[in-house]
Amino acid sequence: MIDAESPDRLDQLLARYFRPEAAPPGLTRRVVTATRESEAGLARLERSLAIQATPRGVSLIRVGRLPKPATATARRLAEQAREEIHEYLRGQRAFFRVPVDLVTMPDFQRRVLEAARQIPFGEARTYAWVAERIGHPRAVRAVGTALGRNPIPLIVPCHRVWRSDGGVGGYLFGTDVKRRLRALERATPVLEGCTTTHIVCRVGCIHGRHMRLENRVIFASVEDARSVGYRPCRVCRPAA
Amino acid sequence: MESDRALMERVARGDQAAFTDLARRYGARLLAVAARLLTSRADAEDAVQRAFLQCYSGAAGYNPRWAVSTWLYRILTNICVDELRRHATRTAYDERAHAGGPALGSANHRPPDAYLDLHRALERIPREARILLALRYVNGLSYGELARIRGISINTVKSQLARGKSLLRVELGEQGAGHD
């Protein structure tokens, strides 16, 4: 049993517990190598994307060319999607605001894609999880097919669905892009606070766009931010 | 020895040798903090690598009014905090998926037995207090540095540390009574 009755003893205990260890051999070399090897790599994908939208929302994202959206509202939504994807691929956005149009889709596929949209940013689920989620636990293969035909990749995050054995599964833009997206989301935080305004936002909120690097702190939850005097943003509503 | 700021200026100009020096100077200290905040050694080292990567790519945005060490701790702490968020949601998912079974990742970090009670108690105190305690005790950072790293006032730092320690005392006391 640990005796932590007196403040001094707790201090000593904490000091011993937190005592720094020697760095493992080769740490510096690994850090330097990892930094050299890191490349954005997703920029090429972004340049090749074409986006189609209806007045209800984004309806198709593909590599190549697509006809221009028919109405002004649809064109505005396609442009919004392009901006959000640009920020997302640069690690500056952890959510999409632009609506998607899944209305004309077959019921099964729509439910699969809706389930994929429930997977939190930066996380992964299995094909079996999606199958269970839509109430067809045995339809794992059909789920894979439906995700493979996802018309709105990136925004509907089918790249967050992996095989149960940890395998990458398939991906419309190739498995290398799927791996890169996982690494990107892992390196992109979700909640950021501004040290001058003491407001906490979702990463990608318009308020955070001009925040200087030195004013940015990351939080693990809105409650954590509240506990040290930050309040949630009223625009992006991170607590919702 | 070259000053930290001079080193950062060279890093901002893309000087690889300066970057290697910086990593050598701060790698172990950053790893010590990350190792105490995150569940596994691999996650901790990954966090340090990402911190240096951000430092390298964002070196041009470094504000010389900041001590380089504080700047690096801010970057590292931001990364660790986001990793803690991910770990919390992942654990919740794993617990739901394997109800009754152990949460994935929980067995990765095994502190020595003498510290097991403290380790468990630390897991139960509020996250922000735990982060401040780690920064304070691993590297002996001042209240001012802690305030800057977490973007809070010095008074909030003090009250969080005091609250964290008082909760730890309660946790450890209760555990002790339970074992006797």
Residue A56 clears pLDDT 70, i.e. is over it? yes
Length of chain B: 180
Structural domain spans, chain A: 107-174+181-187, 191-232
**Binary contact (A31, B115; C-beta < 8 A):** no
Are residues B145 and B103 part of one domain?
A: no
Please give the tally of structural domains in chain B: 2
Residue A24 banded pLDDT, cuts 50, 70, 90: confident
Mind telling me how many Å the CA of A175 is from chain B's nearest CA? 22
A158 is catalytic: yes
pLDDT, position A8: 75
What residue has token string 């730092």?
A: B157
Residue A221 to residue A228: CA distance in whole angstroms = 12
Instruction: Find, in chain A, the residue whose alpha carbon is nearest to that of B117.
Output: A2
Distance in Å from the first CA to the final CA of chain A = 42
- Are B127 and B88 members of one domain? no
Amino acid B177: pLDDT = 44
Q: Are residues B101 and B79 in the same domain?
A: yes
Q: What is the mean pLDDT of chain A?
A: 89
Last-in-domain residue among B82, B109, B136: B109
B97 lies in the same domain as B146: no
Give contacts of A162 with chain B, Cβ < 8 Å. none
- A122 contact residues in B (CB cutoff 8 A): 86
Q: Residue B92 CA to chain centroid, in angstroms?
A: 21
CATH code assigned at B28: 1.10.1740.10
B36 pLDDT higher than 80: yes
Nearest CB among B19, B63, B78 relative to A218 is that of B78
User: Which of A18, A31, A228 is opposite residue B49, by nearest beta carbon?
Assistant: A31
Rg of chain A over Cα atoms, rounded to whole angstroms, equals 22
Whether residue B96 sits in one domain with residue B134: no
Same domain, B77 and B152: no
pLDDT over 70 percentage in chain B: 82
Decide if A218 and B79 are in contact by the 8 Å CB cutoff. Answer: yes
Pairing state of beta strands A191-194 and A216-219?
antiparallel
Strongest mean pLDDT among A35-49, A185-199, B78-92: A185-199
DSSP lists the bridge partners of residue A168 as none
d(CA B13, CA A235): 38
Per CB-CB distance under 8 Å, the chain B contacts of A10 are 165, 168-169, 172
Q: Which residue of B has its CA nearest to A184?
A: B50
Q: B59-66 long-range contacts, Cβ below 8 Å, gap at least 24?
A: B59/B8, B59/B11, B59/B12, B60/B12, B61/A212, B61/A213, B61/A214, B62/B8, B62/B12, B63/A214, B64/B5, B64/B8, B64/B9, B66/A214, B66/B148
CATH of the domain at B116: 1.10.10.10
Shared domain check, B81 and B4: yes
Q: Give A104-158 pLDDT, tens digit per residue.
A: 899 999 999 999 999 999 889 999 999 999 999 999 999 999 999 999 999 999 9
**Length reported for chain A:** 240
pTM of the model: 0.82
CA dihedral over A104, A105, A107, A110, signed as positive or negative: negative
- Considering the domain architecture, whether residues B125 and B160 belong to the same structural domain is answered as yes
Q: What is the pLDDT of residue B100?
A: 41
ipTM score for this prediction? 0.80
Q: What are phi and psi of A217, to 5 degrees?
A: -125, 145
**B115: which DSSP letter?**
G
Choose among A5, A15, A35: nearest Cβ to B137: A15
Looking at the fold, whether B90 and B12 belong to one and the same domain comes out as: yes
Contact between residue A125 and residue A119 where contact means Cβ atoms under 8 Å apart? yes
Question: At a CB cut-off of 8 Å and minimum separation 6, what does A79 contact?
Answer: none
Instruction: Give yes or no: residues B58 and B147 share one domain.
Output: no
The residue assigned the tokens 């809105």 is A222
List the one residue out of B90, B152, B75 whose CA is nearest residue A227.
Answer: B152
Among B57, B89, B109, give the residue marking a domain's end.
B109
Looking at B74, B94, B109, which one is the last position of a domain? B109
Topology adopted by domain A107-174+181-187: Arc Repressor Mutant, subunit A (1.10.10)
Range of the domain at B175: 111-180
| Statement to judge: residues B98 and B170 lie in one domain | no
A58-79 tens-digit pLDDT: 999 999 888 989 899 999 999 9
> CB distance A2–B66 less than 8 Å?
no
